[in-house]
């Protein structure tokens, strides 16, 4: 069903591929851009996909924010995992509606948000973060993205212990994932999925070694490179600049006889 834009809802204002703004609609307020301002009252009652003009006559398209929009627009204190890497984690670790997932570190909550979106309505994310100040940010980001109810934020050190048992997946984005491997082994159900994101080769080597030692099989380490195409009839070409490296992904599955 088509959705009407309402007070209190978020809108992604799209100008072009490089300029988008994530805005919460508040009656009586204006939103200022470098192309003039929009009266948010004008948005209320419109449908997603419609267009709106600033006082300077510049047109924005009103889009419903995707999870990727939320993630890319999040308040953050640290680098977040890129959507391309989150996508592979979800599919390779078999995370779907109903999955029980342990995740760490929470950071700004970007990865937890995406995971939550994919396990709802019956799954749950248990997200560990040792730095309390990050949990505040994460809480706001999860609420904004509309997935807070599926995430349990935990101010605990996951390298010490995991409380949950028989979970479907453990997903890690932290400096020393190999320290979590024994706890992940305990927390996972038989055949459960381990996934870890790390920027450096040495992190990958240590994590893979820990997985081999702790009864995991089907261990694989990959990297994913995404390149954009500039599409124009007669002049199509890949873009000059690209992100050459974000990090490596390590996946594995738990056996019951380490």
Restricted to residues 177-216, the positions that interact with a copy of itself (CB under 8 A) are 189-193, 199-202, 204-205, 208-209
* Region 158-177 residues binding a copy of itself, contact defined as CB under 8 A: 166
H or E element in which residue 211 lies: helix 201-213
Site string for a copy of itself, 59-98 (x = CB under 8 A): --xxxx-xxx--------------xx-xxx-xxx-x-xxx
Residues 18-47 that bind a copy of itself (CB under 8 A): 20, 47
Alpha-helical (H) ranges within 99-197 are: 110-119, 132-144, 181-187
Alpha-carbon distances of 210 from 17, 134, 216, 219, 258, rounded to whole Å: 42, 28, 9, 11, 11
State yes or no: residue 226 binds a copy of itself (CB under 8 A): yes
58 binds a copy of itself (CB under 8 A): no
Angle between helix 110-119 and 83-92 (nearest 10): 40
Shortest distance (Å) from residue 136 CB to a copy of itself: 26
- Angle between helix axes 110-119 and 132-144 (nearest 10 degrees) is 50
Residue 17 makes contact with a copy of itself by CB under 8 A = yes
- Judged by CB under 8 A, which of 120, 144, 154, 183 binds a copy of itself? 120
DSSP annotation of 178:
G
128-147 binders of a copy of itself (CB under 8 A): none
- Give the interface segment with a copy of itself, choosing from 34-42, 102-110, 129-137, 219-227 (CB under 8 A): 219-227
**Beta partners for 193?**
169, 253
């Amino acid at each position: 069903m088509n959705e009407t834009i309402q007070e209190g809802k978020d809108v992604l204002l799209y100008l072009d591929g490089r300029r988008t703004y994530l805005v919460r609609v508040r009656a009586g307020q204006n939103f200022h851009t470098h192309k003039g301002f929009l009266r948010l009252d004008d948005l209320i009652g419109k449908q997603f996909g419609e267009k709106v003009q600033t006082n300077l006559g510049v047109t924005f398209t009103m889009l419903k924010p995707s999870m990727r929009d939320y993630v890319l627009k999040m308040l953050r204190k640290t680098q977040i995992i890129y959507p391309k890497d989150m996508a592979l984690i979800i599919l390779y670790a078999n995370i779907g509606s109903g999955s029980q997932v342990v995740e760490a570190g929470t950071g700004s909550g970007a990865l937890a948000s995406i995971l939550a979106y994919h396990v709802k309505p019956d799954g749950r994310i248990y997200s560990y973060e040792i730095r309390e100040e990050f949990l505040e940010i994460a809480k706001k980001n999860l609420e904004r993205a509309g997935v807070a109810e599926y995430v349990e934020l935990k101010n605990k050190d996951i390298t010490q212990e995991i409380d949950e048992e028989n979970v479907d997946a453990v997903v890690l984005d932290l400096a020393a994932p190999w320290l979590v491997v024994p706890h992940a082994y305990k927390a996972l159900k038989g055949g459960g999925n381990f996934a870890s994101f790390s920027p450096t080769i040495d992190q990958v080597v240590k994590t893979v070694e820990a997985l081999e030692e702790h009864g995991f099989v089907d261990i694989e380490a990959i990297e994913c490179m995404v390149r954009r195409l500039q599409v124009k009839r007669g002049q199509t070409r890949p873009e000059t600049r690209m992100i050459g490296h974000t990090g490596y992904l390590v996946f594995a599955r738990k056996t019951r006889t380490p």
